[in-house]
Amino acid sequence: MSRSPELPERAWVRLPSGRRLDLIAPTPFDWADEDLSVGLARTYRWGGHSVWPGAPLSVAQHSLAVLEMRRKRARLTPGQQLRELLHDADEGLINFDCISPLKPFLGPGFAELVRRLTAAIATRYGLPAWTAPEKRAHKVADVAAAAAEAVFVAGWTRAEVRETLGILAPVKPDDPLVGRYGGEPWQPWGPEAAAERFLAELKRLAFATR
């Protein structure tokens, strides 16, 4: 059925809480913390491919790993930690983790969609703006996590990580989350565990920033 020409353009998604989010015109009040946590736990990195049986690696688990890496390298305020935790939060609302080389092919419309969602998230959680040094430090951790995930989750060889994927960060076997949550290094969590752990961290840090 075609849309009525009188209706405004909208892209509604209904969230587990029952709230409705218009992806084209998001506001900071359109989702619950639980919605975001579930969305990130059900959004998968590496195209959903994994050498592990069971669930692939979620963006929720990746986000927690990057946060833990940053904590080990610098003293961060609660607001800075929350910004690290939510660095890919828009993907949990879209339910899509686009690999970086593909993004230019999606065009300016997709970039604008991400910008609007990112702005709504920053407003909702009062995230501080990135400084240039902070952004560089974040990217170091983000890329280091990607290098390890590529080998230990997605199954690329170390040579392929450098030569095919163009990721030059060293591949380190240490999983930053094992010391806190246990389990096998780099084993993807199921969506329920990923959502629960992400939500607990989100609520703790959000409370600390009030």
- pLDDT digits over 56-105, tens only? 999 999 999 999 999 999 999 999 999 999 999 999 999 999 888 888 89
pLDDT score recorded for residue 3: 52
Token duo for residue 123: 């407003």
pLDDT score recorded for residue 1: 47
The residue among 70, 66, 71, 46 whose CA lies nearest residue 58 is 46
What residues form DSSP beta bridges with 58?
44
What residues form DSSP beta bridges with 20?
14
Contacts of residue 122, Cβ cutoff 8 Å, sequence gap at least 6: 129
Residues 188, 136: Cα–Cα separation, whole Å: 27
Token duo for residue 105: 């092919």
Domain 30-208 CATH (choose: 1.10.3210.10, 3.90.1150.10, 1.10.580.10, 3.40.50.720): 1.10.3210.10
pLDDT score recorded for residue 99: 84
